[in-house]
Each structure stands twice: as structure tokens, then as C-alpha cells.
């Protein structure tokens, strides 16, 4: 269960009544690596092991799941032992549940190049967004992000979390545990594609990230420099391809990567969806 029924006073016009409403759960998770505190994350209380694995991987604390000897999670603390106890860790950090700024310093020159021959059709992308972002929990609470990990055979795993960065780490952690070739996968997400989302995809060698919402200029710059495909505003038969159009079978490598009219003012996100 990712939500609780919380008492509130509901108003409808001039009428008010005491009722309850489902509110999404949030918890702090302290992560220790080789006995040293590495971070505290504000996150949803599900798939914590996958979150820890994905986060350590995308922050380059580990190079692969084989470098993890053990993970123990009790209450609000996760203890991780790695094969290299002398690896220099990040300073103490707090990962907030809001999808605001980036955690990691972005040096384009130090980010990996995408290595993938994945080709997708526009229809595959539309179907994935329609299926993967249909969240009953979001409809019920209005307070959740969804990240879907997809392959050429369809959905691999859908992750729900209060923060889309956390959800992406969970998806990556799940794939690492399942020995899934991430170069043959793509990500769909419910919120804005930020530079940090792009960075995580580059580290994991995920070649395509798709959203029904917007992206940012820095995210596009990073994606173009390192061969990542960004697709936004996937709604109905429309989509905007901001980078890597050669991975979409209907788009010629030399053609403009844009399908459908530009969303008008105030349509940065679907009704009821946060801009972040």
C-alpha cells in the first residue's frame, strides 16, 4: 500500500464536510555504504532494494550489481556492503521527493555515449505511453509519478513513486538485478524530462526516454551530445522528437524530428499533472 486515507475537510462551493482522502506515502531512507552514510532519500515505501541498486549505479558508486556483496534494509535504513570498501563515496546528501534540481554535477565530457542499435516505431511509443502511464494510483491520489521500462517485446516493469528520479533509479535497479540489456530498452515517464533524468539514462545506456510532458533545454543539449533520443508531448497521435530522431523508423535521419503542432500556451502538462 502506497497511500493512506487521511482526514480532511472537503469543500464544494459553499458546502464543507469532514471526510477522508487518499494521500500518497513518503518516507526517509538512509543509505549506508560500507558503514558510511551516503545519502538520505525521501521516497515511496516500495521496491527499496531496487531503488538503492539503481541509485548507486547511476551515481557511479558501483559499476555493476556484481560489486554489491549484500543489501540489508531494516525500517528506514539500508546498509550496503560492496566489494571495494575503500571506494571514495559522495558526501552526505539528501534526495528530496520533489523533482527539482539535479543531484550530480553535469560535465558533458564525462558522460558516456549511448551505444545502442534500438529502432522503434511511433506506434510502439504511442502504445507504450497509453498503457504504461495509465495509473490507478495517480487517479486515486493525484500525487504519484510513473516510469515504465519497455523493450521491443513490450512492458518490462512499471514503477510508481512520489519522484520520477526515484522511479527511474528503481527501474534501472530492477533491470540490473534481472540482467536485462538496457541498451535494448526505453523509458516512458509521466513528468518532465530533466537533465538529471537524461544523465541517469546515459549512465545506464538506455537509448530513448519518452514523456507525455515537456523537457528542458539542458536535457536536450546533453541528449544531442551523447546520442540519446528524447521524445515529449506524446498525446494521441502527436509527439515532439527533440533529439535522436534516427531511432524512430518513420523519421528519416536527415529530416526534421518533429511530428504534430507545437502545444499551445498552458499545455505543458496534461490536466491534473504537475509540471515536475
Name the burial class of residue 183, with classes exposed (0-12), middle (13-18) and buried (19+) by CB atoms within 10 angstroms of its CB.
middle
The catalytic residue among 8, 99, 189, 201 is 99
Report the phi/psi class of residue 142: left, alpha or beta, with left for phi > 0 and alpha for psi in -120 to 50: left
* Contact present, 135 and 144 (Cβ < 8 Å): yes
CA dist., res. 11 & res. 105, Å (int) = 44
Q: How do beta strands 15-24 and 3-12 pair?
A: antiparallel
Report the phi/psi class of residue 150: left, alpha or beta, with left for phi > 0 and alpha for psi in -120 to 50: beta
* Contact present, 203 and 62 (Cβ < 8 Å): no
CA dist., res. 123 & res. 94, Å (int) = 39
**Alpha helices, H only, 154-194:** 164-177
- Whether 189 is catalytic: no
Residues designated catalytic: 99
Amino acid at each position: 500500500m502506497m497511500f493512506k486515507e487521511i482526514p480532511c475537510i472537503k469543500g464544494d462551493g459553499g458546502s464543507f464536510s469532514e471526510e477522508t482522502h487518499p494521500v500518497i506515502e513518503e518516507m526517509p531512507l538512509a543509505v549506508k555504504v560500507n558503514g558510511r552514510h551516503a545519502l538520505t532519500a525521501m521516497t515511496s515505501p516500495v521496491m527499496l532494494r531496487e531503488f538503492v541498486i539503481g541509485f548507486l549505479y547511476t551515481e557511479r558508486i558501483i559499476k555493476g550489481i556484481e560489486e554489491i556483496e549484500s543489501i540489508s534494509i531494516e525500517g528506514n535504513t539500508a546498509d550496503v556492503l560492496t566489494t571495494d570498501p575503500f571506494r571514495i563515496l559522495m558526501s552526505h546528501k539528501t534526495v528530496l521527493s520533489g523533482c527539482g534540481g539535479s543531484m550530480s554535477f553535469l560535465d558533458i565530457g564525462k558522460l558516456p555515449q549511448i551505444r545502442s542499435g534500438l529502432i522503434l516505431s511511433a506506434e510502439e511509443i504511442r502504445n507504450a505511453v497509453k498503457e504504461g502511464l495509465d495509473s490507478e494510483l495517480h487517479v486515486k491520489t493525484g500525487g504519484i509519478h510513473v516510469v515504465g521500462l519497455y523493450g521491443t517485446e513490450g512492458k518490462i516493469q512499471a514503477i510508481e513513486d512520489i519522484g520520477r528520479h526515484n522511479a527511474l533509479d528503481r527501474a534501472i535497479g530492477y533491470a540490473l538485478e534481472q540482467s536485462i540489456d538496457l541498451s535494448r530498452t526505453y523509458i516512458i515517464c509521466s513528468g518532465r524530462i530533466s537533465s538529471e533524468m537524461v544523465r541517469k539514462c546515459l549512465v545506464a545506456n538506455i537509448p530513448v526516454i519518452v514523456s507525455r510532458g515537456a523537457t528542458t533545454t539542458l536535457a536536450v543539449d546533453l541528449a544531442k551530445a551523447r546520442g540519446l533520443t528524447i521524445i515529449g508531448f506524446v498525446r494521441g497521435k502527436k509527439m515532439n522528437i527533440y533529439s535522436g530522431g534516427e531511432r524512430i523508423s518513420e523519421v528519416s535521419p536527415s529530416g526534421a524530428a518533429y511530428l504534430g503542432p507545437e502545444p499551445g500556451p498552458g499545455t505543458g502538462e496534461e490536466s491534473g499533472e504537475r509540471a515536475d
